[in-house]
A and B are shown apart, each in its own frame.
Chain A
Amino acid sequence: MGTHSHHHDYNFNERYEFAGKAKMFSIIAVVLGVAAVAIGLLSGDHVTVERTYANLLLMGYYFTCVCAAGTFFVALQYVTQSAWSAGLVRIPQAMAGVLPIASLILLVIVGLGLTTHNLYHHWHADGLTDPNNANYDPIIAGKSAYLNVPFFLIRQVVFMGLYSIFAVIFAKLSYKEDLEGGLASYKKSFKLSAIFLVIFGFTTPIWSFDTIMSLEAHWFSTMFGWYNFAAMWVSGICCITIIVVVLKKAGYMNWVNENHLHDLGKLMFGFSIFWTYVWFAQFMLIWYSNIPEETVYFYKRWEPEYKPWFWLSIIINFVAPLLLLVDRDAKRKQNVMLFVAILLLAGHWLDYYIMIMPGTVAEHRGFGIIEIGTALGFLGLFVFLVMNKLSKQALVPKNHPFLDESLHHQI
């Protein structure tokens, strides 16, 4: 609450114009990405093809996760009836709007990886579940009631389909609110958000078990789902922050000020600590109990091949935000927030890299044209699709019931 004696003159019909350099560079990045993936897939070398698939999975999953985090952000604001975010909620909404496309891309990558045996071959190969076959694997056979191709693909479609449907509905209701005003859209969104959060909370761990953890199907960890959720949420917040700062630097969104940035900074800081908490909880229990079938996961990531990256991930994703964002003033400065957000996005790329690569290409891992090209391609795609989506509507939901509170937000 505050006093409303001062008047504002913001233009709530302001729209982002997606053109010029931003558009050109994002298209160039997509083209470079497609070229890098084509070089990898057409190389004819089995190891390079598998490495390309692993990278496609990494970036496809990352891309979908960030868009899903946008949907989660929107739903969370409705359920908590948050006011502070009303002025910037169009950004996560635009990210959510891209979720159907991101989901389709990930589905194609997962499907092709599965059928060409470049991904998930640990549990999807001939004779793994047949006791008379030389390839018989009793552990995989024991899991096959759950981990089989049809059920796996059904889960992928159902989970990502559900998230996408909710994402589209939230956006539709918000656009309707712009035209009609009133509380009808908000109340409906509130109810749907509550349902969405329950579904999302129960299914994202399973989704990450399927998409990432099943690459090494012998190993399992119940912490893995929350660990992935934390990574998803932090990187989603980082994307929102980057878009806010870039738009503000370009002269848009005058109503978003350092107070809103401060709140984004708190989320970024808090959930980086949460990421570490879950990461460490998973690590410490496995380290302490020292059971071979569990330690194998960290053994692979502790070998000389991955050890420097293992430590670098902790430094970027935990130590850096802890030291850089602990100060109140740091969270209120555009450039500091921009730097930390970009650093954390790179850090969570590395985080996913360490999750995926040891279980797929192992010692054939690399960091070269395929890794950089794929990452660049998906970055370009993200920028192109999200900014294009953002440009289609006004930058603020002008009839949002809490917009006035958001404008007076002060912490």
Chain B
Amino acid sequence: MSNTKYILGSFADPDDMMHGIDKLQANNISIYDCFTPMPIHGIEAKLGVRPSRLPIAAFCFGALGTTLGFSLLYYTMVYDWPMNIGGKPSFAMPNFVPVTFEVTILLCALGMVATFFFRNHLFPGRTPRVMDLRATDDRFILAVDAKENADHALIDSLLKEAGAVEVKYNDRKYVSYE
């Protein structure tokens, strides 16, 4: 048995890649992932990618921000050092709103960016995971798990039929780790 882990079909045209997806799916060959240098509308639905869970992270970070912002105000304005400002009570809700709102937005936004970078291995200190370097430039890459799909000759011919300009047999998953 060969050491090939992933078979990569490299396309020069997004339409050809879409045909490739159709052909592979028609032959019951599961597609591991695909990489494109630009967003292609409708590809998530075609590949059956589940919706992103980033909104859940956003909500959690936002809720954390609300709690922290409110606690900061409550501690400083009510508990630690109550002050008389314009005769208003120390615990006056309307003036709690702007700071709480801003801290919520701040933590939500920063948390989303951090989560996104972390999940995609783009966080400083993490090596980026790239299966084909030209996917960030001018090629549209279809990746097929070679262990799960045994008939490599069929995959090769299907990809080439669809218009792949190159088919690669990679022994390692990520080429960026070298």
Contact = CB atoms under 8 A, between A and B. Distances in A.
A, B from the same assembly:
yes
Interface of A: 1-5, 280, 283-284, 287-290, 328, 408-410
B155 to A, nearest CB: 22
B95 A3 contact: no
Interface string B100-121: 0000000000000000000000
A114 B69 CA distance: 49
Given A2-B42, A280-B94, A289-B86, 7 more contacts: A3-B40, A5-B19, A280-B97, A284-B94, A284-B98, A288-B94, A290-B88
B87 interface: yes
16 contacts: A1-B39, A1-B41, A3-B14, A3-B40, A3-B41, A5-B18, A280-B97, A284-B95, A284-B98, A288-B94, A288-B95, A290-B86, A290-B87, A408-B41, A409-B41, A410-B42
A3 B94 contact: no
Interface in B34-65: 38-42, 51, 55
A113 B36 CA distance: 63
Given A284-B94, A288-B94, A3 B86 contact: no
Contacts of B42: 2, 410
Contact of A5 (B15, B38, B86, B94): B15
Nearest to B87: A290
Contact of A1 (B18, B38, B97): B38
B54 to A, nearest CB: 12
Given A288-B86, A290-B86, A2 B94 contact: no
Interface SS of A by simple majority:
loop
Interface of B: 14-15, 18-19, 38-42, 51, 55, 86-88, 94-95, 97-98
A2 B43 CA distance: 9
A2 B36 CA distance: 12
A161 to B, nearest CB: 39
Nearest to A408: B41
B41 A284 contact: no
Contacts of B18: 3, 5
List 8 A-B pairs, minimum CB-CB distance, nearest first.
A410-B41, A2-B41, A3-B15, A284-B94, A3-B14, A5-B15, A3-B18, A410-B42
Contact of B94 (A4, A283, A328, A409): A283
Contacts of A288: 86, 88, 94-95
Nearest to A5: B15
Contacts of A280: 94, 97
Contacts of B38: 1
Nearest to B88: A288
A328 B98 CA distance: 26
Contacts of A328: 51, 55
A278 to B, nearest CB: 13
A284 to B, nearest CB: 5
Contacts of A283: 94
A287 B41 contact: no
A190 B40 CA distance: 28
Nearest to A283: B94
A409 to B, nearest CB: 8
A289 B51 CA distance: 47
A2 B97 CA distance: 43
A2 B95 contact: no
Contacts of A4: 15
Contacts of B88: 288, 290
Contacts of B41: 1-3, 408-410
B40 A2 contact: yes
Nearest to A405: B41
A287 B89 CA distance: 12
Contacts of B15: 3-5
Given A288-B86, A288-B88, A290-B86, A1 B94 contact: no
B162 to A, nearest CB: 12
A409 B42 CA distance: 9
Nearest to A259: B41
A53 to B, nearest CB: 34
Nearest to B55: A328
Contacts of A409: 41
B14 A284 contact: no
A269 to B, nearest CB: 14
Nearest to B42: A410
Most buried by B among A2, A280, A284, A288: A2
